Amino acid sequence: MVLAMVMVMGASACKGEEIKEEDNFSAVGQEDLQNDQKEAEDEKGDAEEPQAGVGSDDELEDGVDGSDAEVGEPDSNLDNFDADMGEVSDFAALIKDAVGEKDLEKLADLIGFPVYVGLDGVDVVETREAFLELDPDEVFSEEMVRSIEKADAGDLAASMAGFTLMDYDTEGSAGITFGMVDGGLFVTGINYGY
């Protein structure tokens, strides 16, 4: 458009014609160009403003801290192969802590209910409340605690089922499986080996 205006102005000037204000396409074109530049500067200014600290506890310049930020809904289309491996390792470490402390509440916080629990007579536990009614000595059996203690939280591989935290050096070890559920990491199974 700018090139066309220059050509029109140039052709008019070459012919020696006087350009009237209402015939001056360049005035309209210049105004459009200035508006476009102003919009671009406004957009650039918006992009440079600090965002409300999503994922950050740092206080922003305007005094708003990250705890007030609205976080979007998790992407439920993510699967285990999309998971951030740093987050996977961190989540596995939380499982190791809960099992090491034999803390049923802590473990329940990490579970996406319903969850498979491979204890005799249990199978699927539908709710947090029902999980907390389980015998902690059975949930945190010696075999489970030993297997999870030996598990390497930093060396997990994704599968369709998720990630299994267990002692891979001992065949038939107990383990805890977790994976992406509705865009977040959750325990999906507690297995007691064979």
**Residue 159 structure tokens:** 């599968």
Non-local (6+) Cβ contacts of 144 within 8 A are: 99, 174, 190, 192
The whole-number pLDDT of residue 73 equals: 52
Distance (Å, whole) CA 54 – CA 133? 36
> What's the confidence (pLDDT) of residue 74?
56
Three-state DSSP at 117 gives strand
The answer to pTM > 0.85 is no
Q: In angstroms, how far apart are the furthest CA atoms of the chain?
A: 100
pLDDT by 10s per residue, the chain, length 194 = 333 333 333 443 444 444 444 444 444 444 444 444 444 444 444 444 333 332 334 333 334 333 343 444 556 677 899 999 999 999 999 999 999 999 999 999 999 999 999 999 999 999 999 999 999 999 999 999 999 999 999 999 999 999 999 999 999 999 999 999 988 999 999 999 87
CA torsion sign for 183, 189, 190, 191 is negative
What are the structural domains, with CATH classification, of the chain?
2-68 (no CATH), 80-191 (3.10.450)
